[in-house]
Structure 1
Amino acid sequence: METMTKSKDGFLGISHIALSGLRNWTAPAAPMSMMFARQFKAFLPPKNKIELGDPWWIIPSELNIFTGYLSNNRFYPPVPRGKEIVIHKLLSMFHPRPFVKTRFAPQGAVACIQAMSEFYYIVAFRIHAEFQLNEPPDFPFWFSPGQFTGHIVLSKDSSHVREFKLFVPNKRSLNVDMEWLYGASESSNMEVDIGYLPQMELESSGPSIPSVIRDENGNVMDSRDPAGEPIQFVFEEINWQREISWEEAAQKLEVAMYPFKKVSYLPFTQAFDRAKAENKLVHSILLWGALDDQQLGNPISLSFSRSVPGSGRTLRETVLESSPILALLNESFVSSWSLVKELEELQTKRQNEFYSRLADLHLEKYNFPVEMMICLPNGTVIHHINANYFLDITSMKPEEVESSIFSFSTNFEDPSTATYLQFLKEGLQRSKRFLQT
């Protein structure tokens, strides 16, 4: 709880009751569970997805920016069906109330083949799921890890699982979103915060073994040797015929979940190093929660009777994944997104004066909740716009927009895309006197 960005006990009068589900969740619901290999058949690829890195949906996402989101005022998950069942069972080991379909897009689970041999696959996967920690009479408390990812080594007929691991990535300083209602209706105020989860994972204790052992003639054998000891199985080493790296597989899954990641978003310092080497501008997004995870909360009190203004979720599901924006970013910019917390740490440590100065320049321009910036390779911010202002002006009629900087183009029906294109092009125009080819 000490990693919660704002909402430690006592913040804005938060009662112990509101956080009771979080405070009382001190151990997994089931530290161990016995499962059959064939239950993992859901992770096998469909017949038309047998190329390395070609993603498919285990659980399809049913939401997008147009369909909205699912109700916050719920306590108990719907009954899982089909391929949801095995994922629900796995996540139930952490907590008894997992929701395998999140309230916000992108939902579901996506997978791809990372390696294959004659008889086995390594399947990499990514799951977006969340937990409801409270029960009546308390109000709902949602616990949403940024993502669950992992891999499974299983036979092509799903009769044998050699290895399984599922975990929440912990490389960034914030990786879990927490949201709780202050009332019993959908329009009740909701508090939102983010924090850090150092470890949350499931791992198989060893390869699956047959529940019934048969000899070469098909007769059932005793599972113990003459001395009464359990028969020990020796498994052959798997020779992988084709494979890709974990990093490449994870990137394929990320793009499947988030089309805006067709543009590479580099870590903050790497982006400026790349921009200097390629003589390009940096397109940088600074925000409170992650841009490419479910963990996108803003630590403020708000009502979910309408969309959250200025959220990274809105940006990634609209302008950042539009074709004209993707094309211009790939051609003319080096892109990056950063957490405010990470830049504050970079600013404070002063281990590298140049990088600390970059953080200084960014934080000087930052306004809550999300700031989009165009920067020179030396960190100078030559153009920036706050997400709240951006969403405000794109919801207006063209004649209502006072600023001549953000004008609407008749080439695009979507005013958000037109306005963001104008923002990027204005940055390119302003940079001409600085960047000499």
Structure 2
Amino acid sequence: MGRTRPGERGPAGPGPAAPPAPPPRRARVLALLGALLAAAAAAAAARAFARYSEAQAAARQDSALKTLGTEGLFLFSSLDADRDMYISPEEFKPIAEKLTGSTPTASYEEEELPPDPSEETLTIEARFQPLLPESMTKSKDGFLGVSRLALSGLRNWTTAALPSAVFAARHFRPFLPPRGHVELGEPWWIIPSELSVFTGYLSNNRFYPPPPKGKEVIIHRLLSMFHPRPFVKTRFAPQGAVACLTAISDFYYTVMFRIHAEFQLSEPPDFPFWFSPGQFTGHVILSKDATHVRDFRLFVPNHRSLNVDMEWLYGASEGSNMEVDIGYIPQMELEALGPSVPSVILDEDGNLIDSRLPSGEPLQFVFEEIQWQQELSWEEAARRLEVAMYPFKKVTYLPFTEAFEQAKAKNKLVHSILLWGALDDQSC
């Protein structure tokens, strides 16, 4: 073997592999073109499938229209919640219950819990005076095509569906403030609004409310005392329920709330008739663990001359066949007859005590006086809930004459708004 001299290189060893030669430009262009063609073909296939699906849906709707007629298709569509042109057993359930006269099975979460004989209960009474027909400004019989049939659901609603009902104190747990909301007047949502001025509104063509879930359950049960078909969420924004604390003690809260809900007064084959009070407001005084309710009241404010919006269809088209009016309802109120009390009374040894005295009179409970440490006025709490529902109310709105005085003092212009109803509730 020869030696390598200084300055000379030895035999070349195995070096790093040479990088592969780049594909020809034509091959790269063809590959890119192929990918684009494949994507275009997939998009075209998707569009074709969508057109096919739309055509099938249109064909089914056309067939249904020929079979059922306009009014029949309208009724069918009111039950077809997912708009797939098929009525599922769940969608048909309200009609089946109507035809068979069966009572809808309860799906309320709190009713699934076994009753606790030691828990406290309270009785709530409904007070209801029907809407005054003379307060409806344009919907007199024979005017604008309004008929007695169109208003039959309203005319027949003269009493509360359930004059009184017993609730467990724990049913009011959803009114407790969430963690972190223990400041007076700080609003929180019991039922958040799912709509805004940008998301439109829900369909008018519905008869039966969806099953309530979670915190909706107690509000649905309370409103069902007025009428069997309450919609906990309104068709228009702002929906839901908002609350805030107005008083705090060592063991109790006073919670003020505002609820936007409405009722469907008609059932098939009549057309839908929507009854939308301006708002439900009220308060509940309850212990911090929701085992005791000291007081409860819910009502539609009646201090304004108009406090209910009504909208109803008189044909199969939602847009062109709808009438609207506003009216006044004198009383729509729920109130607890007294604080919650134990269902059974036990002595110190756990033995059952007779709830009646030897004279036959029921035992009288003595409740301690609540010492409130912090309190907020009803007016200020109502204003804060109003702003939560309607953020534009952050601006101060003044009566007509006061506005001019303020404008003159501040050298500003006046922005005047004239309405048929109220801008800050659901009656307008």
CA distance in 2, matches of 1:207, 1:219: 24
Q: What corresponds to 1:44 in structure 2?
A: 176
> 1:377-426: per-residue Cα shift (whole Å, max 9, x none)?
xxxxxxxxxxxxxxxxxxxxxxxxxxxxxxxxxxxxxxxxxxxxxxxxxx
Q: Quick check: 1:149 aligned with 2:281?
A: yes
Match of 1:161 in 2: 293
Deviation per residue, 1:216-252 (Å, 9 max, x gap): 3444333223444321101111111001100111111
RMSD: 1.5
Corresponding position of 1:89: 221
Identify the residue that residue 239 of structure 1 maps to in structure 2. 371
Alignment of 1:69-84 (within 5 A): 69-84=201-216
The correspondence for 1:67, drawn from 179, 183, 199, is 199
Kindly provide the amino acid, as one letter, of the partner of residue 211 in structure 1. S
The DSSP-based 3-state class of the residue aligned with 1:87 is helix
**What is the CA-CA distance between 1:264 and the residue it aligns to?**
1.5
**8 Å CA contact 1:132, 1:143 repeated in 2:** yes
Q: Give the drift of 1:276.
A: 4.0
Q: Deviations over 1:183-238 (max 9, x none)?
A: 23444521011111222111111111111222334443332234443211011111
> Which of 167, 179, 182 pairs up with 1:35?
167
Contact 1:52 1:115 in 2 (8 A): yes
Q: Is the 8 A contact 1:182 1:188 kept in 2?
A: no
Match of residue 333 from structure 2: 201
Is residue 2:362 matched to residue 1:230? yes
What SS does structure 2 have at the residue aligned with 1:151? Answer: strand
Residue 133 of structure 1 is matched in structure 2 by 265
CA distance in 2, matches of 1:138, 1:226: 56
Tell whether the 8 Å contact from 1:63 to 1:105 is kept in structure 2 after alignment: yes
Q: Does 1:102 pair with 2:234?
A: yes
Residues 269/199 of structure 1: CA separation in 2 closer, same or farther (3 Å cut): farther
* Cα distance, 1:273 vs structure 2: 3.6
Match of 2:313 among 168, 181, 185: 181
Q: Which residue of 2 aligns with 1:346?
A: none
Supply the AA of the counterpart residue of 2:164.
M
Q: d(CA) in 2 for partners of 1:216 and 1:116?
A: 31
- Work out which of the residue numbers 260, 268, 286 in structure 1 matches 2:400: 268
> What is the TM-score of this pair, normalised by structure 2?
0.67
Q: In structure 2, how many angstroms separate the alpha carbons of the residues matched to 1:115 and 1:269?
A: 35
Summarize deviations over 1:285-325 as a string: whole Å, max 9, x none.
Answer: 111121111111xxxxxxxxxxxxxxxxxxxxxxxxxxxxx
Q: Please tell me whether residue 124 in structure 1 is matched to residue 256 in structure 2.
A: yes
- Report the residue type matching 1:67 in the other structure: T
Q: Which residue of 1 aligns with 2:148?
A: 16
Shift of 1:81: 0.8
Give SS of 2:384's match: helix
Letter in 2 for 1:34: V
Q: What SS does structure 2 have at the residue aligned with 1:260?
A: helix
Give the Cα–Cα distance (whole angstroms) in 1 for the partners of residues 258 and 350 of structure 2: 39
Q: What is the distance in 2 between the residues matched to 1:272 and 1:160?
A: 50
Q: Secondary structure at the match of 2:418?
A: strand
| Residues 253-280 of structure 1 deviation map (CA, whole Å, 9 limit, x = unaligned) | 1111111111111233333343344443
Residues 56-91 of structure 1: CA deviation (Å, up to 9, x unaligned) = 111110001222111100111111111111101111
Whole-Å separation in 2 of the counterparts to 1:253 and 1:87: 17
Q: Map of 1:329-368 to 2, 5 A cutoff?
A: none
Alpha-carbon displacement from aligned partner over 1:156-208 (angstroms, at most 9, x marks no partner)? 11111111111111122211100001223444521011111222111111111
Cα distance, 1:111 vs. partner?
Answer: 0.2
Gaps of 5+ in 2: 1-132
2:391 is the alignment partner of 1:259: yes
Once residues 406 and 295 of structure 2 are traced to their aligned partners in structure 1, the CA distance between those partners, rounded to angstroms, is 38
How far off is 1:43 after superposition? 0.5
Q: Distance in 1 between matches of 2:250 and 2:193?
A: 32
Whether 2:189 is the aligned partner of 1:57: answer yes
| Structure 1 counterpart SS, 2:269 | coil
1:28 shift after superposition: 0.8
* Mapped contact 1:54–1:113 kept (Cα < 8 A): yes
Contact 1:129/1:147 (8 A) holds in 2? yes
| Residues in 1 aligned to 2:335 and 2:366: alpha-carbon distance in whole angstroms | 20
Output the CA distance in 2 between the equivalents of 1:176 and 1:270: 27
Q: Judge which range, 31-40 or 274-283, deviates more.
A: 274-283
Matched, 1:214 2:346: yes
Three-state SS of the structure 2 residue aligned to 1:149 is strand
Opposite residue 196 of structure 1, the aligned amino acid is Y
TM-score (norm. length: structure 1): 0.66
Unaligned 5+ segments in structure 1 are: 297-437
Residue identity opposite 2:371 in structure 1? N
